[in-house]
Amino acid sequence: MTYVIEIWFLFSNFTSKIKYYMSGKIKKIGVFTSGGDSPGMNAAVRSVVRACAYHNIECYGIYRGYEGLMDGDFELMDARSVKGIINKGGTILKSARSQRFRTKEGRQQAYEQLKANHIDALVAVGGDGTFTGAMIFNEEFNFPVMGIPGTIDNDIFGTSHTLGFDTAQNTVVEAIDKIRDTASSHNRLFFIEVMGRDVGHIALNTGIAGGAEEILIPEEDLGLERLVESLRRSKKSGKTSSIVVVAEGDKIGKNIFELKEYVDENMEGYDVRVSVLGHMQRGGAPSCFDRVLASRMGVKAVDSLLEGKTNYMVGLINNKMELTPLDNAIKGKSKINLELLRVSDIMST
């Protein structure tokens, strides 16, 4: 019985490979990273390169995102070119935010470069700006593209996790723990700003994990009065120090330094400090979760292109690799978990 299953497995694996080769359209894939870098991008590049090697097709690394695409900054990569990078933060392919690619001339130039190098399809690792560029490029030139969501913000629809989100959260929690040590030693109130322009995933999760008194996110305007009230309440209940986690895109109407001033003026008994965590949240070795996710996404991206699929993003939905049309990934909303809001309220009692 076991032999029968094994032979069947080998055979089905073999036939699926034959199927790929018979489709035969895609012989060279280009991969690039674009927009804000995130931990796990290297692991994704490694996965795409190795999946191409597995299928006996060539893979080109494209440097500096769309900038390198327009300049023909390509390098043929094999399985060994990506050794020792799974654990590295940043991106060996470099990244950029390109204004030139927003123009028709820029995209035409990119197309000419791809044609000249006989590249048949692209894997774009990045966020919504990257996907918008890829989608327009696909529409204009009917060029096969596949997206891998790489951004710490987790603000992409069609995946429960973007690459780097898990690692960034761990980095932030470590920072909050450290700030808490000094906050409690001096009986201080700290406002800690974390990344998240449009969504509050990082703030909400790390605020709960770091034991924050309040969490300010773009999705919810807590209001200054309620914030001060809540801080007064927690002081009354015996707390001597407090942490408030603020997402950079928070809608309370004041930036984090103005918040400090407001609280200074409207609350007695707290020595207030501000800590902006900034770009350190984007660096560091990817977590185990991000490495596995990146490996799965790279394989799925190459498999899908070879199956003739295009203009999709690969994502994690219910622990399965699924495809979402790029258009939906860009326009759809990545929603925060409302249950977490309630949990955070209860925890700050």
Which positions lie near ligand F6P, rule CB under 6 A? 36, 127, 151-153, 195-197, 248, 282
Nearer to ligand F6P, 36 or 207 (CB): 36
Give the sheet arrangement for strand 188-194, strand by strand.
Answer: 214-216, 242-247, 188-194, 271-276
Nearest to 162 by CA among 302, 65, 327, 290: 290
Q: How many CB atoms lie within 10 A of CB 129?
A: 19
Per the annotation, the verdict on 177 as an active-site residue is no
Nearest to 195 by CA among 295, 264, 93, 127: 127
Helices first, then strands: H and E counts in the chain: 12, 11
Nearest to 307 by CA among 78, 31, 21, 47: 21
Shortest Å, Cβ 153 to ligand F6P: 5
- C-alpha angle 94-122-71 in degrees, rounded to nearest 5: 50
Bridge partner residues of 33 (DSSP): 125
Nearer to ligand F6P, 36 or 158 (CB): 36
Nearer to ligand F6P, 248 or 303 (CB): 248
Nearer to ligand F6P, 60 or 66 (CB): 66
d(CA 340, CA 68): 41
Q: How many CB atoms lie within 10 A of CB 25?
A: 11
- CB-side neighbour CA atoms (13 Å) of 102: 5
Nearer to ligand F6P, 127 or 286 (CB): 127
CA distances (Å), 237 to each of 209, 210, 223, 242, 262, in order? 21, 19, 21, 12, 22
Shortest Å, Cβ 31 to ligand F6P: 20
Nearest to 114 by CA among 135, 148, 143, 92: 143
Nearer to ligand F6P, 151 or 287 (CB): 151
Shortest Å, Cβ 110 to ligand F6P: 21
Q: Tell me the DSSP string of 95-117.
A: ----SGGGSHHHHHHHHHHHHHT
28: tokens are 């060279």
Nearer to ligand F6P, 162 or 241 (CB): 162
Shortest Å, Cβ 210 to ligand F6P: 18
Shortest Å, Cβ 338 to ligand F6P: 22
Shortest Å, Cβ 133 to ligand F6P: 15
d(CA 144, CA 111): 12
Shortest Å, Cβ 214 to ligand F6P: 20
Of 37, 153, 250, 303, the catalytic one is 153
Tell how far CA 117 is from the center of its chain.
29
Residues belonging to the active site: 153
